């Protein structure tokens, strides 16, 4: 497979009031067309900085000191802002970490995806709304017509993340950079979103740079793993090899810290005092969508109740109803 993205000797520094912070110190990595590469490392190791450098999105004060980022044979570090706009979204697209922040809360989901299509010159204003619905459907959203008319807060976290994937796909990029795309979601939705990204990549021969601090996720989803530590590549190997025989001490630490419930032991339940809250048959609908459907539980004074469930299962709606907070879209 041809090399699509080659980062070589990349050094990035942030200038702050307290001096210059070196964030990347000679990073080298390659992503081939259609390949999935995971960029793994602890917080502050430089994962997002790498992503932002590739997208020409370094914040103020951040700058490339040295090195090259070659995409499809072109050095991106030499591009003007105008040149960047032709690459960003069209050749390389970002699926950001927090769908809550990345979507505009006061615009309908469909309009935001349609806007991405128009900006990239891939649809006329007239055709964009129906193409946006198609993209939402391609991103695995059931009932895409309804979702397109809704506002971001009316969608669960998992659906918002899918809407962002739809927007990222709008420009038909060759490389998708997913910066911890699922860290705000529960585990089962995380899996589905990551499976979905993987299927997409395979179907359309997209390359994927998957940023995560979870080596388990990286091992399941990537062909190759690149381990960053303090702005340097500590180790780089095919996923299986790296897990079977990590050569770097830092990778072994990451492996040891991989989240697992294997050694979980439950705490003894607390009796609690008199019943404080009694919920019985709680129901809530938003238009045609049933958010909460007959929830009953009681909570005693001094007790802690955990409300657990996948994204969109009605946890937040239940909490808001208990607190008598009106949801903005109350139907």
**Residue choice 88, 160, 213, 284 for contact with ligand ATP (CB under 6 A):** 213
Rounded-to-integer distance, Cα 326 and Cα 331, Å? 10
Please check whether residue 9 is in contact with residue 24, taking contact to mean a CB–CB distance below 8 angstroms.
Answer: no
**Contact stretch for ligand ATP (CB under 6 A) within 45-53, 100-108, 122-130, 307-315:** 45-53
Of 14 and 151, which has the nearer Cβ to Mg ion? Answer: 14
Among 48, 161, 311, 316, binds Mg ion (CB under 5 A): 48
User: In angstroms, what is the minimal distance from the CB of 97 to ligand ATP?
Assistant: 8
The nearest distance, CB 317 to ligand ATP, in angstroms, is 29
User: For residues 96 and 314, which CB has a smaller minimum distance to ligand ATP in the complex?
Assistant: 96
Is residue 44 a contact residue for ligand ATP (CB under 6 A)? yes
Pair 142, 274: CB distance under 8 Å = no
* Paired sense of beta strands 62-71 and 74-75, if any: antiparallel
Q: Does 50 bind Mg ion (CB under 5 A)?
A: no
DSSP annotation string for 247-276: -SHHHHHHHHTS---TT--PPPPP--SSEE
The residue range among 56-64, 79-87, 136-144, 236-244 that interacts with ligand ATP, by the rule CB under 6 A, is 56-64
The token duo for 315 is 């946890």
Backbone angles phi, psi at 181, to 5 degrees: -65, -15
Region of 36-44, 69-77, 108-116, 167-175 interacting with ligand ATP (CB under 6 A): 36-44
What's 325's DSSP letter? P
Q: What is the rounded radius of gyration, in angstroms, for the C-alpha atoms of the chain?
A: 22
Q: How many residues bind Mg ion (CB under 5 A)?
A: 2
Q: Which is nearer to Mg ion, 159 or 227 (CB)?
A: 227
- Alpha helices for the chain (secondary structure H): 47-55, 81-87, 99-102, 109-119, 128-138, 144-149, 157-170, 187-204, 215-221, 239-244, 249-256, 315-322
Q: Could you give the CA distance from residue 112 to residue 71 in angstroms, rounded to a whole number? A: 27
* Distance in Å, CB of 18 to ligand ATP, minimum: 9
Contact segment (CB under 6 A) with ligand ATP among 38-46, 88-96, 192-200, 233-241 equals 38-46
Q: Find the shortest distance in angstroms from Cβ 190 to Mg ion.
A: 16
| The one segment of 45-53, 107-115, 236-244, 294-302 that binds Mg ion by CB under 5 A | 45-53
Does 64 bind ligand ATP (CB under 6 A)? Our answer is no
Under the binding rule (CB under 5 A), the answer on residue 316 touching Mg ion is no
14 binds ligand ATP (CB under 6 A): yes
Closer CB to ligand ATP, 44 or 272, in the complex: 44
Torsion of CA 89, 91, 97, 99, to 10 degrees: 30
What does 23 interact with, of ligand ATP, Mg ion, none (CB < 5 to 8 A by kind)? ligand ATP
Q: What is the DSSP string of 228-253?
A: EETTEEEEEEEHHHHHHS--SHHHHH
Phi/psi at 113 (5° precision): -70, -40
- Which of Mg ion, ligand ATP, none binds 49 (CB below 5-8 Å, type-dependent)? ligand ATP
Taking the C-alpha atoms of residue 328 and residue 54, their distance in angstroms, rounded to an integer, is 37
Where do we find the tokens 């990073």?
Answer: 27
Give the interface with Mg ion as residue ranges (CB under 5 A). Answer: 47-48
For ligand ATP, the binding residues (CB under 6 A) are 14, 16, 21, 23, 41, 43-49, 59, 61-62, 213
């Amino acid at each position: 497979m041809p090399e699509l993205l080659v980062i070589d000797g990349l050094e990035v520094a942030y200038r702050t009031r307290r001096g210059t912070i070196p964030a990347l110190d000679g990073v080298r990595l390659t992503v081939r067309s259609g390949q999935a590469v995971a960029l793994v490392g602890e917080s502050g190791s430089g994962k997002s900085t790498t992503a932002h450098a590739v997208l020409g999105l370094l914040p103020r004060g951040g700058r490339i000191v040295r090195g090259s980022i070659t995409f499809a044979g072109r050095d991106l570090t030499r591009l003007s802002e105008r040149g960047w706009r032709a690459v960003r979204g069209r050749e390389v697209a970002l699926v950001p970490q927090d769908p809550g922040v990345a979507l505009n809360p006061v615009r309908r989901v469909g309009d935001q995806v349609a806007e991405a299509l128009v900006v990239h010159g891939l649809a006329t204003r007239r055709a964009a709304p129906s193409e946006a619905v198609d993209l939402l459907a391609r991103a695995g959203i059931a009932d895409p017509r309804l979702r397109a008319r809704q506002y971001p807060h009316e969608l669960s976290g998992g659906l918002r993340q899918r809407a962002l994937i739809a927007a990222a796909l709008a420009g038909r990029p060759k490389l998708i950079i997913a910066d911890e795309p699922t860290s705000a979601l529960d585990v089962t939705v995380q899996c589905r979103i990551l499976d979905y990204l993987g299927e997409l990549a395979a179907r359309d021969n997209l390359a994927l740079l998957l940023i995560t601090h979870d080596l388990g996720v990286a091992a399941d989803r990537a062909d190759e793993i690149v381990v960053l530590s303090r702005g340097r590549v500590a180790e780089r190997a095919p996923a299986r090899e790296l897990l079977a025989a990590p050569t770097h001490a830092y990778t072994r630490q990451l492996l040891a810290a991989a989240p697992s419930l294997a050694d979980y032991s439950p705490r003894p339940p607390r009796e609690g005092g008199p019943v404080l809250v009694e919920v019985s048959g709680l129901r809530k609908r938003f238009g045609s969508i049933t958010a909460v459907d007959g929830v009953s539980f009681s909570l005693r004074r001094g007790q802690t109740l955990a409300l657990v469930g996948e994204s969109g299962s009605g946890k937040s709606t239940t909490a808001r109803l208990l607190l008598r907070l009106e949801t903005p879209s109350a139907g």
